[in-house]
Amino acid sequence: MPKLWTDTVATHREEVRQAVLDAAGELVARDGLWAVSMSRLAEAAGIGRATLYKYFADVEEVLTAWHARQVSAHLTDLATMAAGAGDASARLRAVVERYAHICAQRSRHGGDVAAALHRGPGIADQHRQLQDLLTDLIQEAASAGTVRADVPAEQLAGFCLAALTAAGTASGPDVVVELVWTALTADPASAADSA
Amino acid sequence: MPKLWTDTVATHREEVRQAVLDAAGELVARDGLWAVSMSRLAEAAGIGRATLYKYFADVEEVLTAWHARQVSAHLTDLATMAAGAGDASARLRAVVERYAHICAQRSRHGGDVAAALHRGPGIADQHRQLQDLLTDLIQEAASAGTVRADVPAEQLAGFCLAALTAAGTASGPDVVVELVWTALTADPASAADSA
């Protein structure tokens, strides 16, 4: 059965849109966020500037859409890892490591602009989803006895998310993952002794 | 010897300026950052609006100056604690606790605006000073054997600062201080075992 004309148009529009966002990702990775311009986007996406302006009003709109797509993809990845096979502790460790690398990658793209994009609508909601995902996983690991149970899972999740942003600094992701993991898995009794 | 007229004027101007910043602090503590207006500032400082405008162009300028004064006072406090008597571990613990409470207080004043003010000029420099202060103290405690020495002091300091911002979330400062302290003082050998 032949596609309806409106479907074809909608599909084509979506393909162009995704191509522009792909181009944005490539430009950001290669030259940084500040180097992205409408001319370069059009060239990299293989369309004319006039066409590009039919899809996006300005660079900020492209970057916001690209960033939303990135965050959404990361969330899907993390949710898949969280729901995977294996014991809760191993899945938690994998999610923590992946998120640390996401933070490190984000800071390489220029912290200021990332911070600007992170104030966009929908971001608070996505942050909430991430917090919930981590809380459930920590809860599961705590029930299994591999993560400390003396601090509520939600508070441990909030700590993780804040602490892992340090992965974007000089420390790099691996060291930060170890420090966070130490805090999560410490025996509360011995931790109290050392204080 | 009588004061020179220019000294008297300069002193008076500085007193009015400080009174406006005091008023800003009181308004922020009572009603939050968004509630601060030039009219309320003038009233709380006990001066006319016209006079206030001779000192500050707008609310943002007042808040930026107030914020700079706050950060500077916090830095002085933390530096005094860091340089105090007692062993390095106790001083480090005190600095970590104080900074966690500063983060918690800041988030009560409205995280968005705090973030906006934190982009002001001079803030990066003050953050650097804080990072250096903490690095030196961690180095001292690590040499004394009370803080882990397997991670460079500068990286531990960066981790602390990022992780302590979680004190501004639901967890509250005390829990976050315990988690950070666990990570700092863990025996690397046993931490590796639990991973």
Compute the mean pLDDT over every residue in chain A, rounded to the nearest whole number: 85
The size of chain B, in residues, is 195
Q: How many CB atoms lie within 10 A of CB A155?
A: 19
- Amino acid identity, residue B73? A
B189 burial type by CB count under 10 A (0-12 exposed, 13-18 middle, 19+ buried): exposed
Answer whether B86's CB lies under 8 Å from B146's CB. Answer: no
- pLDDT for residue B188 is more than 90: no
Nearest to A155 among B155, B165, B175 (CB): B175
pLDDT tens string B9-18: 888 899 999 9
pLDDT at B121: 63
Please report, for chain A, the start and end positions of each structural domain, with discontinuous segments joined by +: 1-56, 64-188
pLDDT at B61: 92
pLDDT at A75: 93
Answer whether A26's CB lies under 8 Å from A44's CB. Answer: yes
Which of A128, A182, A184 is most worth mutating to test chain B (most B CB atoms within 10 A of its CB)? Answer: A182
% of chain B beyond a pLDDT of 70: 86
Do the domains B60-186 and B1-56 match in fold? no
Confidence of residue A194 (pLDDT cuts 50, 70, 90): very low
pLDDT tens string B130-166: 999 999 999 999 999 999 998 899 989 988 988 888 7
Q: Which residue of A has its CA nearest to B170?
A: A155
pLDDT tens string B59-91: 989 998 998 898 899 999 999 999 988 899 999
pLDDT at B194: 45
Nearest to B158 among A159, A171, A183 (CB): A171
Query: B159, A171: Cβ pair inside 8 Å?
Result: yes
pLDDT at B122: 72
Q: What is the mean pLDDT of residues A32-47?
A: 92
pLDDT at A189: 61
pLDDT at B178: 86
- Chain A residues lying within 8 Å of B169, measured CB to CB: 158, 162
Compute the mean pLDDT over every residue in chain B, rounded to the nearest whole number: 85
- pLDDT for residue A160 is more than 70: yes
Least confident of A5-14, A163-172, B122-131, B140-149: A163-172
Q: Mention every residue, 6+ apart, whose C-beta is less than 8 A from residue A170.
A: B154, B155, B158
pLDDT tens string A75-102: 999 999 999 888 999 999 999 999 999 8
Nearest to B194 among A154, A159, A185 (CB): A185
pLDDT at A104: 85
- Chain A residues lying within 8 Å of B170, measured CB to CB: 154-155, 158
The shortest C-alpha distance from A82 to chain B (Å) reads: 18
Q: Mention every residue, 6+ apart, whose C-beta is less than 8 A from residue B162.
A: A162, A163, A165, A166, A169
The shortest C-alpha distance from B111 to chain A (Å) reads: 12
Tell me which architecture the domain covering B1-56 has in CATH: Orthogonal Bundle (1.10)
pLDDT at B82: 93
Can you tell me the ipTM of this complex? 0.71
Query: B162, A161: Cβ pair inside 8 Å?
Result: no
Query: A176, B159: Cβ pair inside 8 Å?
Result: yes
The shortest C-alpha distance from B194 to chain A (Å) reads: 7
Least confident of A28-32, A106-110, A162-166, A179-183: A106-110
Least confident of A98-107, A118-127, B64-73: A118-127
The shortest C-alpha distance from A84 to chain B (Å) reads: 19
Q: What is the mean pLDDT of residues A63-68?
A: 88
Q: Which residue of A has its CA nearest to B181?
A: A195
- Amino acid identity, residue A86? G
Q: What is the mean pLDDT of residues B183-193?
A: 67
> What φ, ψ does residue A41 adopt, rounded to 5°?
-60, -45
Interface of A with B (CB under 8 A): 93, 112, 115, 119, 151, 154-156, 158-159, 161-163, 165-166, 169-171, 175-176, 178-183, 185-186, 191, 194-195
Tell me which architecture the domain covering B60-186 has in CATH: Orthogonal Bundle (1.10)
Question: Is CATH 3.30.70.3420 the right assignment for the domain spanning A64-188?
Answer: no
Confidence of residue B193 (pLDDT cuts 50, 70, 90): very low
